[in-house]
Amino acid sequence: MRCPKCLLCLSALLTLLGLKVYIEWTSESRLSKAYPGPRGTLSGPTSASTEPTLPANLSARLGQTGPLPSAYWNQQQWRLRALPSENSAEAGGCQAWGAAAAAEIPDFTSYPEDLRRFLLSAACRSFPQWLPEGSQVASCSDTNVPFLLLAVKSEPGRFAERQAVRETWGRPAPGIRRLFLLGSPVGEGGPDLRSLVAWESRRYNDLLLWDFLDVPYNRTLKDLLLLTWLGHHCPEVNFVLQAQDDAFVHMPALLDHLQALPPTWARSLYLGEVFTQAKPLRKPGGPFYVPGSFFEGGYPAYASGGGYVIAGRLAPWLLQAAARVAPFPFDDVYTGLCFRALGLVPRTHPGFLTAWPADRTTDPCTLRDLLLVRPLSPQDSIRLWRQLQELQPQC
């Protein structure tokens, strides 16, 4: 009498399991149709790329399947096992990578100064925090784990941009945590902002400051140091929004989207405005110039650095990947390389617009179905926020 009952229970369990798989599959299908990617972008990872992996040899996964190019980055990546982990203040170790770059790149002296300086210290990734007296950035408590951490990249002198974020989309809310990522306020060739930044840090306790030169080519350091901070202070966060301080985020729409994600999408999320066929710009003097002697080939699929969302659980995985991916000067491209190293690809959403036309900032109805737009001035961000809050337009 007991065997038929066992078979009946087993049959019921298998039926429930099949129903769960069907529901999850159909929900992902509906979501994919609801947010189709623009032409030329990826709508989501393949079924084989929903969990991170890190193979012993990354060259093939990073696209180096044909004859090995002679460019320095490609050669380095082919033979790289792991970047040095020594402290950045030591004379050897991480600085040796930069010295080798200067010695091995035949036209290194013709590179732009910013790129030369980046390469000389690109493998140095351990920097102390700059902690003004009387300020502190609290860890995420076990009883108050944020659903979404807002990690906003800023620069010491951009006080107005940070204040606009605080007064608009980055204001305190349940399940939301706000942090600004900055380098040293001492700077180079500019005013000494230490006293002003120290006051701001004590006033708001939302500045993560590190003792490195805050220039565009060092934005990757903010990503990597944030990932390290998350591992120590906020490991259970669900999602992390990484955005520039001139972005405007439609928080209700973003939260609705994240809360509706199927679990398999949420676990490995890398969401934003995705570029899939970008290539290096070879025109000297441009802001994204990459010499042919440094890198050959196309870029991986990556989300624009203006603003994107990642799953919090991926932080330790991304750090492992970054230790084995050769440094690259652009933070969003480098993030794309690290995700590709893990076998993950970005998901695109048409609501991320990181080249926002200036003539559309006056109409709040344009934001109804958008998640993030950039760039906006602090004044435009505050004006748009107030319109969204007070007018409640019927669009």
Domain boundaries, the chain: 35-350
Pairing of strands 176-182, 207-209: parallel
Q: Which amino acid is at 33?
A: K
Residues 275 and 52: beta-carbon distance below 8 Å: no
pLDDT reading at 173 higher than 90: yes
Convert the pLDDT of each residue in 98-110 to its tens digit: 999 999 999 999 9
Cα–Cα distance, 176 to 359 (Å, whole number): 31
CATH class given for the domain over 35-350: alpha beta
Indicate left, alpha or beta for 40 from its phi (over 0: left) and psi (-120 to 50: alpha): left
Give the tens place of pLDDT for each residue, 299-323.
Answer: 999 999 999 999 999 999 999 999 9
Neighbours of 94 (CB within 10 A): 20
**Residue of 221, 147, 150 lying closest to 183 (CA atoms):** 221
φ and ψ of 367, to 5 deg: -90, 0
Looking at residue 111, its amino acid is Y
pLDDT of residue 235: 95
Whether 298 shows a pLDDT value over 80: the answer reads yes
Mean pLDDT, rounded, for 158-167: 98
CA distance 93 to 86: 6
307 forms bridges with which residues in the sheet? 243
Share of the chain above pLDDT 90, in %: 67
Element (H, E) at 270: strand 270-275
Name the pLDDT band for 353 (thresholds 50, 70, 90): very high
Question: What are the two backbone dihedrals, phi and then psi, of residue 281, each rounded to the nearest 5 degrees?
Answer: -90, 125
Tens of pLDDT, residues 142-153: 778 999 999 999
Q: What's the rounded Cα separation, in Å, for the pair 169 and 248?
A: 7
Residue 171 has pLDDT above 70, yes or no: yes
Q: How far apart are CA 238 and CA 362, in angstroms?
A: 33
